[in-house]
Amino acid sequence: MFADDEINILVIVLDVNPIWWGQQAQREPQFTLSTCLDSLMVLANAHLVMSRTNKLAVIANLYQKSHFLYPSKQWKSGDEISTSSDGKYELLSVTNDLFAEEIRNLMDRTEVSGSHTDSLLAVSIAKALCCILNLWFMQIAGQDVKSRILVIKAAEDSTLQYMNFMNVIFAAQKKNILIDACVLDADSGLLQQACDITGGLYLKIPQKIALAQYLLWVFLPDAEQRSQLLLPPPVHVDYRAACFCHRNLIEIGYVCSVCLSIFCNFSPICTTCETAFKMPLPQMAKTKKKKVKTAN
Amino acid sequence: MASLSEEVLLVVKRVRQRKQDGTLYLMAERIAWGPEGKDRFTVSHLYADIRCQKISPDGKAKIQLQLILHTGESTTFHFSNGSTALKDRDATKELLQQLLPKFKKKANKELEEKNRMLQEDPVLFQLYKDLVVSQVISAEEFWANRLSLNTVEHSLSNNSKQEVGISAAFLADIRPQTDGCNGLRYNLTSDIIESIFRTYPTVKQKYAENVPHNLTEKEFWTRFFQSHYFHRDRISTGQQDIFSECAKQDEKGLNSMVTRGVKNPMVDLLLLEDKTLDEVRDCHGAGGRPTEAPSDQASETSSTDGNSRDSDFFQPPLKKVKLQESIEYDDLQGDSGRKTIALNLKKSDRYSHGPIPLQSQHYTTSQDIINSISIIQHEMRNYKPRLTQVMSSNAASSAITALSPGGLLMQGGAQQTINQLVPTDVQIELKHLYTAAGELLRHFWSCFPVNTPFLEDKLTGHLEEMLQAAYSKFQVWQTRRMMRKT
């Protein structure tokens, strides 16, 4: 009855860092990029079949760029799409074919690069947000648009993207877009924060070969349905900041009011923006533990 | 006589019942007999109650008619009108023969139907027990709602039956037969006449006007078949042809539709083409063409109401707005120009790193990199999705175990499911209550759209009460449960 009133958008951001996946193929031959792609395709098909108004996008996340696997720009070429002979729902067969074709082309075009081998996660999530907003504008009045982003993470975090990443997370939170994370290898603090802030689910998978099962069980239901289900409890997130001078995690520190950089010890000049601060009076230093100085 | 407001179908005088003279009356829904000279009926039976009728054999001296009721009782009427007795009795018998089946089938069939439904569907039976027996809903309403759910084949009330269309070749099928001597003979059945009336409504009109005042039916049809109208020449030769007007009327109708025309000046006729799967997907796909999609939608919605008469009134402002929309883009306008102060940093790379601790870097040699990339490229070159072999069932079941309560991934969450906490009889009762509540809600929703006063009353008065009754039941149940726990 209400199927037409709700659009559910799922954007999958897949980490296809070829270096990590190549090493993974050597470590564990039974779970390689092909298996991962197959599992993702199963999830994508399931999502599309749940309702006629569900929408899907898939973005591949590489170190040089991030690329839309579906929907792809190649449709306009007017090529004949081979209709499947097994009577499968056409949308699914077309989706799968395009997906496969794009990933093949993408991998073919990959160049070897010595530097910058980290995946550009913030870029992909930003693209995902734009894509969701685009679909948002196409809604008919009275329709409810619910969207979520599922990030499949293979390689480690790239620390250089912190600022961009946080900006993207807060933008998602403002627009009520959930960010879910499915982590294959190493835990990622950034993604844990993202899931916590936006209200999504973070899951580190113990068995990679059962990826499809985890995806369908945990990540297929949308936000409303999740409240009715028993799902893994949220992870405890370590929100402690690291000081800018030593990169140690601290609980209490000093913050410069001009540039907001965090220090573990007081210093009269902020090293980031070179603002000078007044020396603290001795009695204040004893009683107060945390100070925020105003620039004069 | 009592209740003469009923429609009387037949009156038979000099009918004796139990050795008394009287008059027999057949009404729309019942048969009644009253003794001579008295005001009231002593015998009255509804047709629905009568199981069958019997007549005395023809040779017998006494001419009688016997009515046997469902209950087993019987009533005998003796027609003693001398010469006309036999005729009277036969007339009565025939009328009864026509009337009885109508009422009889209704009564029996309904009950049978209901019993059958209750027996076949235990859920329905339970609902019936919960709602009707405990007097939350009256039985009539329950059945009224349920029966309309069932398929058309069980329609007892007079639902309009679906009309069968007219075959395209029916006119060609009315082939005349040569009459032997230079004439043509048309065989007209009532079906054919019906089809002709449906195809040519003007002919029906003419028929109603002219028959039987001016023309007999035979003459009407003769003229019809002779007229040019039927032969599709449509040249109105100005003859005294009653059918030439029909052609003119049809022409007029078509012309008026053409002059009404299309209202919307911005209708994009190209949109009315058939769309291939590609184009349709384009409108829905993401990251495709953001600019085209909104204007597509706008002109589509306008083309659907292009023919309505109201758009005529709103035309000039609509046109302006649309032209405006297609010319300007909001986000390409210049900035509003607020003054800001730039942040002056000496060591800005700290920012990009952010307040996160250093992580141990994995160092990969360039040889490793080259190897990995070539492995992946090789693998992906031959990639074909094999969705049926995505994982083994062992892997899947171990994943499910890990995700079930108490499993590896579920430590620390709220763990008890409802069906472990609650005993079975309570669960069953809850299920019954739930289905009963659902049934009430269905009654509620079936009252919309409210277009009779009965429905309105039902909604505001009756159904309110029923829902209240259901709520209070649930309340009782809940307090009982609470007390049981404490």
Over 90: is that where the pLDDT of A117 sits? no
User: Nearest by CB to B352, which of A110, A162, A241?
Assistant: A162
CA–CA separation, B42 and B38 (whole Å): 9
* Chain A CB within 8 Å of residue B374 CB: yes
- The pLDDT assigned to A182 comes to 92
Task: Read off the pLDDT of each residue in A245-272 and give the average, rounded to a whole number.
Answer: 84
**Integer angstrom CA distances of residue A61 from A79, A122, B67, B125, B169:** 26, 9, 90, 59, 64
- The pLDDT assigned to A78 comes to 42
* Two tokens, residue B324: 């405006």
- The pLDDT assigned to B486 comes to 56
- State the burial class of residue A32 (Cβ atoms within 10 Å of its Cβ: 0-12, 13-18, 19+): buried
CA–CA separation, A146 and A224 (whole Å): 10
Q: Which of A88-97, A232-241, B69-78, B270-279 has the lowest mean pLDDT?
A: B270-279
User: Nearest by CB to B353, which of A11, A90, A159?
Assistant: A159
CA–CA separation, A296 and A255 (whole Å): 15
A26 CB neighbours in chain B (<8 A) are 372, 375
Over 80: is that where the pLDDT of B454 sits? no
- Dmax (CA) for chain B in angstroms is 131
B277 three-state secondary structure = helix
- The pLDDT assigned to A286 comes to 47
Task: Read off the pLDDT of each residue in A276-291 and give the average, rounded to a whole number.
Answer: 57
**Integer angstrom CA distances of residue B347 from A255, A273, B352:** 16, 7, 10
A243 CB neighbours in chain B (<8 A) are 355
Cα angle for residues B87, B89, B90 (degrees, 5° grid): 65
Q: Pick left, alpha or beta for residue B485 (phi over 0 → left; psi -120 to 50 → alpha; otherwise beta).
A: alpha
B341 CB neighbours in chain A (<8 A) are none
CA distance B438 to chain A (A): 16
pLDDT tens, residue by residue, B288-341: 333 333 334 444 444 344 344 444 444 556 677 777 777 767 666 665 556 677
Please give the DSSP secondary-structure letter assigned to residue A167: H
CA–CA separation, A103 and A111 (whole Å): 14
B392 CB neighbours in chain A (<8 A) are 209
Mean residue pLDDT of chain B comes to 70
Interface test with B, best of A16, A27, A48, A75 (most B CBs within 10 A): A75
- The pLDDT assigned to B201 comes to 78
CA distance B373 to chain A (A): 5
- Residue A177 pLDDT class (50, 70, 90 cuts): very high
Residue A194 contacts residue A14 (beta carbons within 8 Å): no
Show which of residues 194-233 on chain B sit within 8 Å of chain A, judged by CB atoms: none
Over 70: is that where the pLDDT of A95 sits? yes
Q: By CA distance, what is B344's nearest residue in A?
A: A273
B387 CB neighbours in chain A (<8 A) are 38, 41-42, 45, 96
User: Nearest by CB to A259, which of B343, B398, B399?
Assistant: B343
ipTM of the complex: 0.73
CA distance A234 to chain B (A): 8
CA–CA separation, A105 and A77 (whole Å): 15
Q: By CA distance, what is A99's nearest residue in B?
A: B385
pLDDT tens, residue by residue, B124-165: 887 787 777 666 667 777 777 676 665 433 444 334 444 556
CA–CA separation, B247 and B200 (whole Å): 10
Residue with structure tokens 């035979």? B218
Q: Which of B32-36, B97-101, B229-233 has the lowest mean pLDDT?
A: B229-233
| Cβ contacts from A onto B, under 8 A | 222
Q: How far apart are the first and last CA of chain B?
A: 70
Q: Would you report the helix, strand and coil content of chain B in percent, each value rounded to 5?
A: 55, 10, 35
- The pLDDT assigned to B139 comes to 74
A211 CB neighbours in chain B (<8 A) are 391
User: Nearest by CB to A157, which of B281, B294, B359?
Assistant: B359
**Integer angstrom CA distances of residue B140 from B132, B432, B459:** 9, 21, 16
Q: Which of A240-244, B174-178, B402-406 has the highest mean pLDDT?
A: A240-244
Phi, psi angle pair for A154, to nearest 5°: -110, -60
Question: Among B408, B461, B467, which Cα is nearest to B440's?
Answer: B467
Over 80: is that where the pLDDT of B233 sits? no
More confident residue, B234 or B37: B37
Over 60: is that where the pLDDT of A84 sits? no
Task: Read off the pLDDT of each residue in B223-234 and give the average, rounded to a whole number.
Answer: 60
User: Nearest by CB to A37, which of B362, B385, B415?
Assistant: B385
* Chain A CB within 8 Å of residue B323 CB: no
Interface test with B, best of A95, A110, A207, A255 (most B CBs within 10 A): A207
Question: Among B439, B440, B422, which Cα is nearest to B430's?
Answer: B422
- The pLDDT assigned to B297 comes to 41
* Two tokens, residue A72: 């792809």
Residue B66 contacts residue B54 (beta carbons within 8 Å): yes
Question: What share of chain B has pLDDT > 70, as a percent?
Answer: 62
More confident residue, A53 or A198: A198
Task: Read off the pLDDT of each residue in A180-194 and give the average, rounded to a whole number.
Answer: 88
pLDDT tens, residue by residue, B172-195: 666 665 555 666 666 777 777 787
- The pLDDT assigned to A173 comes to 93
Interface test with A, best of B276, B393, B403, B421 (most A CBs within 10 A): B403
CB contact under 8 A, B286 and A135: yes
Q: By CA distance, what is A24's nearest residue in B?
A: B372
User: Nearest by CB to A213, which of B348, B366, B400?
Assistant: B400
CB contact under 8 A, B376 and A110: yes
pLDDT tens, residue by residue, B101-120: 777 666 667 777 778 888 88
- The pLDDT assigned to B166 comes to 61
CA distance A205 to chain B (A): 9
- The pLDDT assigned to B284 comes to 45
Task: Read off the pLDDT of each residue in B469-475 and give the average, rounded to a whole number.
Answer: 77
A203 CB neighbours in chain B (<8 A) are 409
- Residue A163 pLDDT class (50, 70, 90 cuts): confident
B343 CB neighbours in chain A (<8 A) are 258-259, 273
Phi, psi angle pair for A67, to nearest 5°: -135, 140
CA distance B269 to chain A (A): 22
Interface test with A, best of B281, B375, B393 (most A CBs within 10 A): B375
CA distance A278 to chain B (A): 20
User: Nearest by CB to B357, which of A21, A55, A242?
Assistant: A242
Pairing of strands A249-250, A241-242: antiparallel
Task: Read off the pLDDT of each residue in A255-281 and give the average, rounded to a whole number.
Answer: 80
Residue A147 contacts residue A173 (beta carbons within 8 Å): no
CA–CA separation, B77 and B92 (whole Å): 11
Residue A241 contacts residue A251 (beta carbons within 8 Å): no
Show which of residues 425-454 on chain B sit within 8 Å of chain A, judged by CB atoms: none
CA–CA separation, A31 and A40 (whole Å): 13
The 3 state secondary structure assigned to B65-88 is: EEEEECCCCEEEEEECCHHHHHHH
CA distance A81 to chain B (A): 9
Non-local CB neighbours of A14 within 8 Å, separated by 6+ positions: A36, A37, A40, A58, A59, A60, A61, A69, A152
Show which of residues 403-422 on chain B sit within 8 Å of chain A, judged by CB atoms: 403, 405, 408-413, 415, 417
Give the other-Cβ count within 10 Å of B279's Cβ.
13
CB contact under 8 A, A100 and B412: no
Non-local CB neighbours of B36 within 8 Å, separated by 6+ positions: B20, B21, B22, B23
Task: Read off the pLDDT of each residue in B58-76 and give the average, rounded to a whole number.
Answer: 83
Show which of residues 271-300 on chain B sit within 8 Å of chain A, judged by CB atoms: 277-278, 281-288, 290, 293-294, 297
User: Nearest by CB to B284, which of A55, A100, A217?
Assistant: A55
- State the burial class of residue B237 (Cβ atoms within 10 Å of its Cβ: 0-12, 13-18, 19+): exposed
Over 60: is that where the pLDDT of B282 sits? no
CB contact under 8 A, B400 and A217: yes
- Residue B239 pLDDT class (50, 70, 90 cuts): very low
User: Nearest by CB to B385, which of A22, A38, A113?
Assistant: A38
CB contact under 8 A, B385 and A138: no
Q: Which of B22-36, B380-394, B397-411, B452-466 has the lowest mean pLDDT?
A: B452-466
More confident residue, A202 or B367: A202
Residue A80 contacts residue A71 (beta carbons within 8 Å): no
CB contact under 8 A, B358 and A132: no
Mean residue pLDDT of chain A comes to 81
Task: Read off the pLDDT of each residue in A280-292 and give the average, rounded to a whole number.
Answer: 51
Residue B202 contacts residue B249 (beta carbons within 8 Å): yes
User: Nearest by CB to A68, which of B287, B381, B390?
Assistant: B287
* Chain A CB within 8 Å of residue B330 CB: no
Question: Among A119, A118, A116, A98, which Cα is nearest to A45's?
Answer: A98
- State the burial class of residue B14 (Cβ atoms within 10 Å of its Cβ: 0-12, 13-18, 19+): middle
Residue A68 contacts residue A22 (beta carbons within 8 Å): no
